[in-house]
Structure 1
Amino acid sequence: MKKGIHPELKLITVKCTCGAEHKFWTMKEDIKIDLCSNCHPFYKGDTGSLIVDTEGRVQKFRNKYGDNY
């Protein structure tokens, strides 16, 4: 590799609003995030609120095929 053309990477700690800290290699100095894998509802198992069904299509599908699809 040529010297002097690649950016300098630093190991930083990314801080989430929930208090979790993650380490990443990046060119930036300081990163603060609102959601991470510790506090995001999808990763915590709260998937019930992710389905928005206004016409009953999900229930119709579950009635037809069951919950084991």
Structure 2
Amino acid sequence: MKKGIHPENYRPVVFKDMSNGDMFLTKSTAKTNDTVEFEGETYPVVKVEISSTSHPFYTGKSKLVDTAGRVDKFMSRYGKAAKK
């Protein structure tokens, strides 16, 4: 790796998937005040809502999120036309 091309705060950071608890270690400049113990060492932690271990594209499991019955409303209007 070339010297002097990375910022001063380029360091090992743990990213934690909050939906399933998986963690992985990589280098980053992301700012955080939280820390976590990972593989016997303490690292700064960045909490993310979704990662490759929980994203439907990578896991092959899709989730249908229904907000206020919008899917049911759509199906009642257009579901009959699609079945023909």
TM-score by length of structure 1 reads: 0.54
Counterpart position of 2:29: 27
Deviant stretches of 4+, over 4 Å: none
Q: CA deviation at 1:21?
A: 0.4
Q: Which structure's residues are more often strand, by fraction?
A: 2
Q: Give the SS at the match of 1:13.
A: strand
Identity between Structure 1 and Structure 2 (%): 28
Q: CA deviation at 1:27?
A: 1.4
Cα distance in 1 between the residues matched to 2:60 and 2:3: 46
TM-score by length of structure 2 reads: 0.46
Counterpart position of 2:12: 11
Counterpart position of 2:42: none
Cα distance in 1 between the residues matched to 2:3 and 2:26: 24
- CA-atom RMSD, angstroms? 3.3
Name structure 2 gaps, 5 residues minimum: 33-45, 65-77
